[in-house]
Amino acid sequence: MAASPSPSSAATTNIMLAIFEKKTNSVDLYRPLRNYIAFHYSEREAQNLEDDLETLKQFRSDIERHSDPSLPARRDLFQSYYKSLCLVETRFPISSDPSHVNTLTFTWFDAFKLKNKSSQRNIHLEKASVLFNLGAVYSQIGLSYDRNTVDGRRQASHAFIAAAGSFAYLRENASLKASVGGSVTVDLSVECAAMLEKLMLAQAQECVFENSIAKGSTPGVCSKISRQVGLYYEEALAALNVAPLTQHFDKTWLAHVHLKAALFHAEACYRYGLELHEKEEIAEEIARLRIAINVLNEAKKNSRGAPAQILDAISKLEANINRNLERAVKENDRVYLMRIPSLSSLPPLPAFSMVKPMVMNEVLDASKEKMFASLVPDSSTKALSRYTEMVDEVIRTQAEKLQQASELTRVRLKEMGLPDSILALEGNFSLPTNLKEDVEAVQISGGPAGLNAELQQLRDLRRVNQELLVQIEELLQKEAREDSQFRSQFGTRWTRPQSSTLTKTLQDRLNRFAGNLKQAAESDARIERSIREHSALMSILDARPIESALPTLARPIMSFDQNEDAVVGSLKQSLRQLENLGAQRAGLEDMLKEMKRKDDILPKLMTFTGSHEDLFKKEISKYDHICEEIAQNIEAQEQLLLQIQAQNDDFSVIFNLEDYKVSCEKSYKQIESAIAKFQEIKENINEGLKFYVTLQDAITNVKQQSDDFVMTRNIQCREMIDDVQRQVAGLSFQDNKNTGAFNSNYPSVGNQNQRSNAQPTEPRPQTPYYQSAEQPQVPAYVHPPPPYGHAHQPPPPYHVPSTSSAPYPPSQVHQQPPANHDYGQPAYPGWRGPYYNNAQAQQPGSVPRPPYTVSSPYPPPHQSGYYRQQ
């Protein structure tokens, strides 16, 4: 084992594993093979193949001596030698048989326990060992790249993918053959090859995860990739914990793989939690983060001997998870108030594999090699291909029969309503999956009982809006009364415009808001009436569990022959037999595939002197007994289905199954209707909540304008009182021209700051209250600049109908009136159903912007316990 830590842009460490090569003893291939050629063919043929024999000898010598230490050179050497061994296998039978090459013995040592070795007189051990070393070299190449760069991580991932492909090829093509030829070391077993394959895939996927973090992929994507890393490590860990690997590897291997599996599982939960927080799904976020903490705590119990880099990464990740968990819990306790789901009820995290083992068939294909080409005729290769096609045809035909039999069983049982009727009799019946999910969603959102609480929210929000309108109206009326009093007191000297003239626009808007509230109150009443009218229908949704509201399949009240138990018992027994037949079919299909995997007639084909067809007929007969078992299984299933049909007919009559099915369908329709009505009312309430919050924002904006207007008028009032009093007392400090200018150039509300900012020695012209006779008359009151600046003015929550004018008159200052919006549209912008008539749909862009201008004691609807944004 070799490890190389390097910095990582992700929250994990970049330490990974590589495999050392297997060691071997020296073997002389040249002399035994040359003697075999000279003996079975001719001396001249042996002389013609001298170059091939020397090349093969040099390959073996380079493997033994490590003549070129560079990793790419070692990789190419193992690939070339393996293809040469494939050619040797088809031409030189190597065994202890006197007529074969019987003087060659291959010896290889275990890569993980050097004291263990295996020796065989066949080429299968040699081929398996070379494949193992090819995978080991690929793993070392992957570890050699600089994974601090994007290109380095990509190249490392490709190398680990190739290593996984080498070990997969070893598992599928060489491990079993090597074990058949004699005893082999554990590192060449099928189990070890599979474990190393998963380990290499895990490290390849880990490189992809690091690149995803580096390029800023979304938390959801990173979560899926990280979860797949953890799954690959978990599969490798599972193999390490069972025979024959359980006592074969050092404990540091187990600690490394265990911690990596836990680390990436927790990382996936952490990334998934970030995505959930963005969606405001706080309850599931809390549950996922708790799972991550549990996984890390469990893994740290077995961290003895683990690298410090991994432990440090776990500590950092744990700190991040705890921080997010604390934040989510606080937000849920204060705002969302969601019910935290149990950890066992959560579905598995989604995972996405970005890697798979490299297909090594082309890399290791020896069909184009010219070595020893003169020794074997092409007819042998074509004969072997013909036999393979025959085996594939047998397996394909039988697999189709098995699949058809399984599909037939599924359809027939569904037609008979089995095993649902048996489950219903035992009290284990459940709703159809889609309907049950809808009911659970309703109950999680509070159910019909929670609608009254949300309806109270509507009333409270309507009351808040009404109180705001009353405050604005009282404010404007008070200012108008004061203006009227002074006008009566000073007579013609009180020259400023009347309040009613200046507040006409505000009054119009307040009247529209009042109309909106009136219409909204009517809509609320329709919702309340709908809840009352349909409470009986929706009450079924409050049943917990929902199955308690369904009809039950009970035993008959009266029975003449008392054979109900016998009928039910025989039907259950038949269903168990049918299930056993299905399991048997799955086993037969696996047997076919396993037999094909082990079926290698090449040695026989190379030595068989008779007709190839006779050999094929004899070899293909190995599959006859499995085909017979498949036919018997299908026939037994047909008979059993007929028996089940008869038993189910008796069961239906005794338990009045038809009436039960009708009752169930009626209940299903009632539940569907209740869900539809609940969703309709829920959607209408949500639209109402959104409307009131939006309207409150608009009224608050008008209240701010009214406050500014009254403040400006009060300032003007005090200044005019002073001027009028000075005129009456004869204490004027300005000439008649200036006095006239005061009367004709008194500042408007929109320019209220110009007077206070003007210098006494250099008076500036001011916007007059009234236009001269030559100018067209415009409304005297214009909108004052908002105190927070025009650039940040919030958009009004309603649209202006296309046929109406803008809600504000043209302004004399640079402030632009809100475009394409109005506050006079119907009560609920999104009201649908029979409770809202002729409402104009809300246009895109009119969604209220949180947070709202005036704080309210009621949370926004998307943060309540009964409303979630769609």
**Rounded to whole angstroms, how far apart are CA atoms 253 and 196?**
12
Which residues, 6+ apart, have CB-to-CB distance to 853 below 8 Å? Answer: 696, 697, 700, 701, 704, 794
Listing DSSP states for 34-75 in one string gives: HHHHHHHT-HHHHHHTHHHHHHHHHHHHHHHHTSS--HHHHH
35 vs 300: CA distance, rounded Å = 61
Instruction: State pLDDT tens for residues 497-546.
Output: 888 888 889 889 999 999 999 999 999 999 989 988 888 888 877 776 66
d(CA 117, CA 616): 37
pLDDT computed for residue 548 by the predictor? 63
- Say how far apart CA 159 and CA 150 lie, in whole Å: 14
Instruction: Of 101-115, 751-765, 808-822, give the range with the top mean pLDDT.
Output: 101-115
Place 549 in a pLDDT band, splitting at 50, 70 and 90: low
Cα-flanking dihedrals φ and ψ of residue 734, to 5°? Answer: -130, 160
Q: In whole angstroms, what is the distance from residue 454 CA to residue 472 CA?
A: 28
| pLDDT digits 0-9 by tens, 663-688 | 778 888 888 888 898 889 989 999 99
Higher pLDDT, 765 or 512: 512
Mean pLDDT, to the nearest integer, of 434-463? 85
Question: Quick check: 745 pLDDT over 80?
Answer: no
The pLDDT of residue 307 is 86
Instruction: Give the pLDDT of residue 833.
Output: 36
**Is residue 364 within 8 Å of residue 130, measured between CB atoms?**
no
Contact 427, 552 (CB under 8 A): yes
- The string of pLDDT tens digits covering residues 586-622 is 898 888 888 888 887 765 665 454 567 887 888 888 8
What pLDDT was estimated at residue 452?
86
Residue pLDDT, tens place only, 829-856: 333 333 333 333 333 334 333 333 333 3
Encode pLDDT of 689-707 as tens digits.
Answer: 999 999 999 999 999 999 9
Contact at 8 Å (CB) between 321 and 293? yes
- C-alpha to C-alpha distance for 494 and 484, rounded to whole angstroms: 10
In this predicted structure, the answer to whether residue 749 has a pLDDT above a threshold of 50 is: no
- Gap between the Cα atoms of 799 and 801, Å rounded: 6
Over residues 270-287, the pLDDT tens digits come to: 999 999 999 989 999 999
Q: Read out DSSP for 222-268? A: HHHHHHHHHHHHHHHHHHHTSTTTTTTS-HHHHHHHHHHHHHHHHHH
Spatial separation of the C-alpha atoms in residues 137 and 713, rounded to whole Å: 88
Per-state percent for the chain, helix, strand, coil, to nearest 5: 65, 0, 35
Task: Say yes or no to pLDDT of 807 above 70.
Answer: no
Q: Looking up tokens 């408007």, which residue turns up?
A: 748
Of residues 381 and 191, more confidence is placed in 191
- Mean pLDDT in the chain? 79
State the chain's maximal CA–CA distance in angstroms.
145
Ranges of H-type helices in 609-734: 612-620, 624-654, 657-729
pLDDT digits (tens, 9 = 90+) for 561-574: 567 778 888 888 88
8 Å CB contact between 612 and 386? yes
Contact 40, 239 (CB under 8 A): no
What is the amino acid identity at position 787? P
Residue 115 has pLDDT above 80, yes or no: yes
Q: Is pLDDT at 659 greater than 80 in this prediction? A: no
